[in-house]
């Protein structure tokens, strides 16, 4: 099964641990984050492939910070191999043609277009030309901007897309998420849809899974108190693992669109549903009236839909109080 097949699989959410720049420029920290992602049940780890000089001017106040967070070229084959050894997919956000070529050299199975690059149409065309499946985030974008990006990718020959609803606020307040927009994307496009979550907790990601997200992307950190732009809203390892467990519970709970027969349900119905029972001791020959029966547990007598049908019928045999009323109670066995 290819990565794109896994993303399209409606039975299982593809969970991405967004490591991003939370490695803080240290390879060992990156590997520890991979360990946490694997222990937490992630399907993939995603990094950010940027070069500060290709992103902003050198006099920009964020330039020095981003320079420290760049991933060196020699990390790429190591990270891919380490992810594979842990049973996960490695991919990254391609933000310029240099790092895109580094990702191409190691044969990544998946590319990510970040919300900040959604309007960088030349980059989108280059990514699409690689022919590799693409996850497209849509933060800050109106439907028109999303449509232009999708058209750019598909017209460049790549329709293996996954579109993520995303809100580019860090952290995102629940009232700003507008999670139903994910469903609008599902209606507008024939591609799998998911959610890139920047809220500080896990509940909304789990809700997105319940609404049909095929991909959930969530930032992961070893410690929210670490220095760096993305640690403060990321999940620490225990909470990330909780999120994945709850997503898997949602998958199991969604089940089938038609409720299958369940022996446990039948047993419970016999115990808890109610049926017609004698309200008092009723001798043979009693013509039933409204006060001669009650609707109580268990479900071993006639259904309550027959309450009107039995009024006026004569009992062929006596019934003790509380005994079920069945059709046999009106049948004279001597006439058989």
pLDDT of residue 114: 95
Question: First vs last Cα of the chain: how many Å apart?
Answer: 66
Mean pLDDT across the stretch 119-134? 96
At 245, which helix (H) or strand (E)? helix 237-254
* Contact present, 219 and 198 (Cβ < 8 Å): yes
- Distance, in Å, from the CA atom of 280 to the CA atom of 293, rounded to the nearest integer, reads 8
Q: Residue 124: is its pLDDT beyond 50?
A: yes
What does DSSP assign to residue 266? Answer: H
pTM of the predicted protein model: 0.87
pLDDT confidence of 265, banded at 50, 70, 90?
A: confident
**Could you report the per-residue pLDDT of 83-114, keeping only the tens digit for each?**
999 999 999 998 999 999 999 999 999 999 99
Convert the pLDDT of each residue in 188-228 to its tens digit. 999 999 999 999 999 999 999 999 999 999 999 999 999 99
Answer whether 20's CB lies under 8 Å from 229's CB. Answer: no
pLDDT of residue 260: 81
CB 7 within 8 A of CB 192: yes
Sign, CA torsion 300/303/304/308: negative
Tell me how far apart the alpha carbons of residues 329 and 272 are, in angstroms, rounded to a whole number: 23
pLDDT of the residue at 112:
97
Whole-number pLDDT of residue 336: 39
**Residue 172: predicted pLDDT:** 97
- Name the band, by pLDDT with cuts 50, 70 and 90, for residue 335: very low
Distance CA 131, CA 108 (A): 11
Alpha carbon distance 292, 317 (integer Å)? 14
pLDDT confidence of 324, banded at 50, 70, 90? very high
Say how many C-beta atoms besides its own lie within 10 A of residue 140's C-beta.
Answer: 14
Containing 263, the helix (H) or strand (E) segment is helix 263-272
Cβ-count burial of 174 within 10 angstroms (0-12 exposed, 13-18 middle, 19+ buried)?
Answer: middle
**For residue 55, pLDDT beyond 90:** no
Which pLDDT does position 333 carry in this prediction? 54
pLDDT of 136 over the 60 cut: yes
Ranges of H-type helices in 58-96: 63-68, 75-85
Domains assigned to the chain: 3-254 (3.20.20.70), 265-335 (3.90.1210.10)
199 against 262, higher pLDDT? 199
CA distances from 140 to 10, 117, 118, 166 (A): 27, 11, 9, 8
Rounded distance, CA 206 to CA 250, Å? Answer: 7
- Average pLDDT of 53-68? 89
DSSP string, 91-113: EEEE-SHHHHHHHHHTT-S-EEE
* Average pLDDT of the segment spanning 45-52: 94
* Mean local confidence (pLDDT), 287-294: 97
């Amino acid at each position: 099964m290819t990565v794109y097949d896994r993303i399209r699989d409606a039975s299982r959410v593809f969970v991405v641990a967004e490591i991003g720049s939370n490695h803080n420029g240290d390879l060992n920290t990156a590997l520890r984050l991979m360990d946490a992602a694997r222990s937490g049940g992630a399907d993939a780890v995603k990094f950010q492939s940027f070069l500060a000089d290709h992103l902003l001017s050198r006099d920009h106040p964020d330039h020095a910070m981003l320079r420290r967070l760049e991933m060196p070229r020699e990390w790429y084959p190591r990270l891919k191999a380490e992810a594979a050894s842990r049973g996960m997919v490695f991919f990254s956000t391609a933000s310029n043609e240099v790092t895109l070529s580094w990702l191409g050299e190691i044969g990544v199975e998946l590319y990510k277009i970040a919300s900040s690059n959604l309007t960088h149409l030349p980059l989108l065309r280059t990514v699409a030309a690689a022919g590799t499946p693409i996850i497209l985030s849509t933060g800050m974008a109106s439907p028109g901007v999303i449509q232009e990006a999708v058209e750019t990718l598909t017209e460049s020959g790549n329709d293996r897309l996954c579109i993520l609803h995303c809100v580019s606020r860090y952290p995102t307040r629940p009232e700003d998420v507008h999670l139903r927009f994910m469903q609008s994307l599902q209606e507008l496009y024939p591609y799998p849809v998911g959610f890139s979550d920047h809220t500080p907790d896990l509940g909304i990601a789990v809700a997105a899974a319940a609404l049909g997200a095929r991909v959930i992307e969530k930032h992961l950190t070893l410690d929210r108190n670490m220095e760096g732009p993305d640690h403060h809203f990321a999940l620490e390892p225990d909470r990330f693992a909780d999120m994945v467990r709850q997503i898997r519970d949602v998958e199991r709970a969604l089940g089938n669109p038609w409720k299958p027969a369940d022996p446990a349900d039948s047993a419970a119905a016999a115990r808890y549903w109610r049926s017609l029972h004698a309200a008092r001791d009723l001798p043979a020959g009693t013509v039933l009236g409204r006060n001669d029966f009650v609707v109580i547990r268990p479900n071993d007598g006639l259904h309550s839909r027959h309450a009107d049908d039995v009024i006026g019928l004569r009992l062929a045999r006596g019934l003790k109080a509380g005994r079920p009323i069945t059709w046999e109670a009106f049948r004279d066995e001597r006439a058989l």
